[in-house]
Amino acid sequence: MAKVIFKSYKENDSLLLPPSLGDLVPPTHPARLVSNVIDHLDISSIESKYKGGGTSSYNPRMLIKVLVYGYMCNTFSGRKIERQLKENIIYMWLSGYSTPDFRTLNLFRAQRLNGDFESIFTQVVELIHREGLVTLDVQYIDGTKIESVANKYTFVWKGAVDKYDERLKTKVDLVLRQAEKVISSEEEQIGTTVGMNAEEFQRRLDNIVEKIEKVPSEIQKEIKKISKESLPKIKEYERHKEILQERGSYSKTDQDATFMRMKEDYMGNGQLKPGYNVQISTENQYITNYGIYQKPGDTTTLIDYLESFVRKYHRQSKEIVADSGYGCEQNYDYMLNNDIVPYVKYNYFHMDIRKERKRPSDAYKLPIPYYNSHDDYFVCSMGQHMTYIGKRQRKSENGYVGEYRRYMAQDCSRCPIKGVCTKAKGNRIYEVNLNLMKQKQLVRELLTSEKGLIHRSKRPIEPEAVFGQIKYDCGFKRFMLKTLPKVSVEFGLIALAHNLRKYAGKVLYIDNNRPQNLLFQQRINGSTEIITFFLKNQVA
């Protein structure tokens, strides 16, 4: 039997010449790409936030590298990154053996990067653009809801605030009027409390308190109750309204978070939870833009989102591809007026192209009335002309005013299908937005064209696949920071890590475990610098 020989093993064996950390990092490791990319970024805006004097500070470029690489490895917690800096060789090499604690990492992420991280993200996307991996000429846009770290049981609803605020103001106003009537010996005048604020109630209360001895004891008790309980409550309602603005709800533990219906609920029933509406644009599954919004609907976010793309890159994409959640008159007007080709679906688009459209609230099917644009009239299903009788305007949630024209049939009394055509007692009235109708016709032609079919086939595998990777592959389903600016930085780190992870797959190519020559191209200040790493000791 052959003798078994084991390799030498000593835990506390010291080396005469300790190895360098860089020798332990493979040449094709993604951490080298992260380090190289961030070394060539302009972070002067972040460096300008530091004040001189006192002790030395950790290098902001090193902290960015550590945070980005941590997010690439699905390590989002500052405490876990701190632990990796003390145990993981890759983190040690990236940090130059610096060991910032979790407080330093969290403070840098929440405050130092706040307002300036978009510039870092934009520079990396521009690098990817110069490499030819994205063109920035097309945006595949979609949104998703990501839960906030806020407590889901501490909430404020706008409907309840408006209801109880008006009820309390009416009650307080009644008591104050009774006291004012006694003091001034004038007839009570019934008015309204609409528009009255806490300051006006306080002024009236102060005037009554000065002459409180003239008021009956029963009313004096009510006045004291108003001063101690009702007036502070009115001020609290006003504070809630100031925070809510146009939103319908917010969480008390993260006032920027809005309650939205989450698909990824643990019970599988789509509960309302505090969260944010995250919008992204992708091209070749690279994230080219992102935005965080407080309203759950996608329709109202598109214009501001497209303008944020211009602010980042000083240009606009030629084509926008999105689902029916973004299709509305205001968005179509904006895109067409800015020379953007809108490959954006609208509601019931698929029913229109299949000639099977039906009214959503009824079980029957009726064709859309035919429109004669020359003489401006519609023709109903029974061939009766519907003539113009007037128009009215409707205001959208964003304040956009659309014009709707009304057309009425001549005589529906003898129509055999009136019961399934209209529920009105008289003649049927058809209300239509002609501008939106023309826009839908244009969009329908674009989406059914050869290029439109290509975009429609790619849209589900562009942003939706990226969201799937972020949520399920990386496990990022909940923010760790609070408030809108900090959440924006956090998702920016997620987006940058996603792009670099994908970019590393293109640059650091390894086939069958055989290292290949690594060609990494950087462009600095408009010039081109090619950095080529030739790997040593390649397998023959």
Cα 187 from Cα 291, distance rounded (Å): 58
Are 250 and 156 in contact by the 8 Å Cβ rule? The answer is yes
Task: Tell the burial category of 158 from Cβ atoms under 10 Å away from its Cβ (0-12, 13-18, 19+).
Answer: middle
**pLDDT number for residue 188:** 45
Cβ atoms < 10 Å from Cβ of 136: 20
Max mean pLDDT among 12-16, 96-100, 191-195 falls in 96-100
Pairwise pLDDT comparison (433 vs 218), residue with the higher score: 433
Nearest to 436 by CA among 446, 428, 448, 444: 444
**pLDDT number for residue 532:** 38
**What predicted TM-score, i.e. pTM, was given to this entire model?**
0.84
Alpha-carbon torsion angle 356, 361, 363, 364, nearest 10? -60
**pLDDT number for residue 402:** 87
Alpha-carbon torsion angle 345, 347, 351, 353, nearest 10? -30
Instruction: Report H helices in 346-458.
Output: 349-353, 418-421, 434-447, 450-458
Q: For residue 268, is pLDDT > 70?
A: no
Cβ atoms < 10 Å from Cβ of 457: 9
What is the pLDDT averaged over residues 83-100? 92
What is the pLDDT averaged over residues 188-213? 70
Report helix, strand or coil for 254. coil
Q: What is the DSSP string of 202-261?
A: HHHHHHHHHTGGGS-HHHHHHHHHIIIIIHHHHHHHHHHHHHHTT-SEEESSSTT-EEEE
Structure tokens at 27: 């040449």
**pLDDT number for residue 276:** 95
Quote the distance between the C-alpha of residue 370 and its chain's center.
Answer: 40
Q: For residue 391, is pLDDT > 50?
A: yes
**pLDDT number for residue 218:** 77
What is the pLDDT averaged over residues 346-351? 86
Lowest mean pLDDT, pick from 184-188, 195-199, 285-289: 184-188
| Torsion angles phi and psi, residue 539, rounded to 5 | -70, 130
**pLDDT number for residue 193:** 54
Domain limits, the chain: 21-113+509-533, 156-251, 352-435
| DSSP conformational letter for 430 | E
Are 154 and 254 in contact by the 8 Å Cβ rule? The answer is no
Three-state SS annotation for 155-195 = EEEHHHHHHHHHHHHHHHHHHHHHHHHHHHCCCCCCCCCCC
pLDDT tens for each residue of 120-130: 999 999 999 99
| DSSP conformational letter for 330 | H
Report the percent of the chain where pLDDT is more than 70. Answer: 87
Q: For residue 358, is pLDDT > 70?
A: no
Are 332 and 436 in contact by the 8 Å Cβ rule? The answer is yes
Residue 85's pLDDT band (cuts 50, 70, 90): very high
What is the pLDDT averaged over residues 96-111? 92
Report the Cα–Cα distance between both ends of the chain, in Å, rounded.
36
Residue 103's pLDDT band (cuts 50, 70, 90): very high
Report helix, strand or coil for 111. helix
**pLDDT number for residue 511:** 41
**pLDDT number for residue 123:** 94
| Residue-averaged pLDDT of the chain | 84
Report helix, strand or coil for 274. strand
Residue 195's pLDDT band (cuts 50, 70, 90): low
pLDDT tens for each residue of 412-445: 888 888 777 888 788 888 888 889 989 999 999 9
pLDDT tens for each residue of 272-309: 899 999 999 999 999 999 999 999 989 999 999 999 99
Q: For residue 192, is pLDDT > 60?
A: no
**pLDDT number for residue 529:** 39
- Name beta bridge partners: 110: none
Structure tokens at 273: 């939870």
**pLDDT number for residue 3:** 87
